[in-house]
Amino acid sequence: MKVPLLDLKAQYNEIKDDINPKVADVIKSQVFILGPVVEEFEKRMADYITASYAVGVSSGSDALIISLMALDISVGDIVITTPFTFFATAGAVSRVGARPVFCDINPETYNLEPEKLAVLLAEMENKERDRLKAVIPVHLYGQCADMDPIMSLAKKFDFAVIEDAAQAVGSEYPSSEGPRKACTMGDMNILSFFPSKNLGGFGDGGMVLTDNENLYQKLRLLRVHGSRNKYFNDIIGGNFRLDALQAAVLCVKMNYLESWHEKRREHADYYNRAFEEEGWIKDGLVKPPKAVYRDRGIKNDHIYNQYVIRVEQRDKLQAYLKEQGIGTAIYYPLPLHLQECFSDLGYKQGDFPVSEKAAREVLALPIYPELSREQQDYVVTTIKNFFSR
């Protein structure tokens, strides 16, 4: 049996009768750059997320860059984020000329650890703290970072917060003020519609969401080369536009999003139960992902963009699963503070031990909505065969 990590063809086959006419409408209209379908998608996403404003952009990476630009973050500024994330989170900071500073993660959620952030802030010299402009918590794998204490620190130390919800569209957080969706807590909040996300386009796409009208207006300007009237440029922006064909696909896929979250959660629970029954959790062979906000009065406590286990013999298990036709992935094998391109930041091995250990042990298993029970059973049996070798 073959079990790919992700099967986008299976998803397309189920919804093509909805997608194809909507895409054909855009083609018939020949309006490809922004226009009514992009506006429709922006409105629907703003409503779904319960954010005041949504700006469709060219990718999640560009959503981060344009957010930093709108906040006037540039050369000499500092932005704190996690070293255990996709490159773009910190890459965007460098792209605008600012300096990323890393802070270690929580070992259970893999998200920025607020207690460590508090220590980092307290230990920063005054002149460095003055240059700190923003913190980017990442809602890794589909579960929100612990936002309440991060937002309290933002108030205390006066920095902006950019939620990187690239992997967490629709995920919720049980804030002290009640349930909050990812992208409603920071000043600027970003999504990615990379095809592997729970809401994925037929190519690249992203979005910035905010409740701040001034920032919204600035984002719209930055998205089109800073030009309010064509060929008259008020500020330096870029081409950060979401295209209409992507918006058409995403509008249709939105109708299925909640049911896909549900299926992913069911699959996660099924794996969890199976690993429990096999005794692997008790024996410490497999550590399943922990949904830390379960039973806290929210539905999408975890949307499982990835179902990530920890295993000591990770590389051997991954190779074995591959031999047996099962796709897996490592998100992420090398934390950002150890990446060659960030060597000038002066970090070294041992600086962020929780991230470094996670990088050695994490393994993402297939969790896409269309995954069948037979396929999941095959994954479990194959892991069992690996352990009994």
Ligand X SMILES: Cc1ncc(COP(=O)(O)O)c(C=O)c1O
The interface region with ligand X, picked from 54-62, 218-226, 245-253, 256-264 by CB under 6 A, is 54-62
C-alpha–C-alpha distance, residues 241 and 270, integer Å: 40
According to the binding rule CB under 6 A, does residue 86 interact with ligand X?
yes
Cα 23 to Cα 19, 36, 91, 176, 355: the distances in Å are 6, 13, 33, 42, 42
Among 77, 104, 164, 356, binds ligand X (CB under 6 A): 164
Residue 92 vs 379, nearer CB to ligand X: 92
Q: Which of 229, 324, 224, 250 is nearest to 45 (CA)?
A: 250
What track of x and - describes contact with ligand X for positions 7 through 46 (by CB under 6 A)? ----------------------------------------
State the nearest-atom distance from the C-beta of 196 to ligand X, in Å.
7
Helix axis angle for 36-49 and 8-29, nearest 10°, is 130
State the nearest-atom distance from the C-beta of 166 to ligand X, in Å.
3
CB of 88 closer than 8 Å to CB of 95: no
C-alpha–C-alpha distance, residues 251 and 196, integer Å: 16
Binding residues for ligand X restricted to 99-138, rule: CB under 6 A: 138
According to the binding rule CB under 6 A, does residue 192 interact with ligand X?
yes
Among 88, 144, 161, 311, binds ligand X (CB under 6 A): 88
State the nearest-atom distance from the C-beta of 194 to ligand X, in Å.
4
* DSSP sequence for 98-137: -EEEE--B-TTT-SB-HHHHHHHHHHS-HHHHHHEEEEE-
State the nearest-atom distance from the C-beta of 164 to ligand X, in Å.
5
What track of x and - describes contact with ligand X for positions 263 through 292 (by CB under 6 A)? ------------------------------
Task: Indicate the burial class of 340 (C-beta count within 10 angstroms; 0-12, 13-18, 19 or more).
Answer: exposed
According to the binding rule CB under 6 A, does residue 243 interact with ligand X?
no
Tell me, rounded to whole angstroms, the distance of Cα 257 from its chain centroid: 15
Residue 114 vs 205, nearer CB to ligand X: 205
According to the binding rule CB under 6 A, does residue 242 interact with ligand X?
no
Among 41, 55, 61, 146, binds ligand X (CB under 6 A): 61
According to the binding rule CB under 6 A, does residue 145 interact with ligand X?
no
CB of 108 closer than 8 Å to CB of 132: no
- Closest-approach residue to ligand X (CB): 60
Q: Backbone phi, then psi, for 99, in 5-degree steps?
A: -110, 125
Residue 61 vs 328, nearer CB to ligand X: 61
Among 84, 110, 159, 194, binds ligand X (CB under 6 A): 194
According to the binding rule CB under 6 A, does residue 366 interact with ligand X?
no
According to the binding rule CB under 6 A, does residue 359 interact with ligand X?
no
SS (H, E, C) 41-69: HHHHHHHHHCCCEEEEECCHHHHHHHHHH
According to the binding rule CB under 6 A, does residue 167 interact with ligand X?
yes
Q: Which residues bind ligand X (CB under 6 A)?
A: 59-61, 85-86, 88-89, 138, 164, 166-167, 192, 194, 204, 206
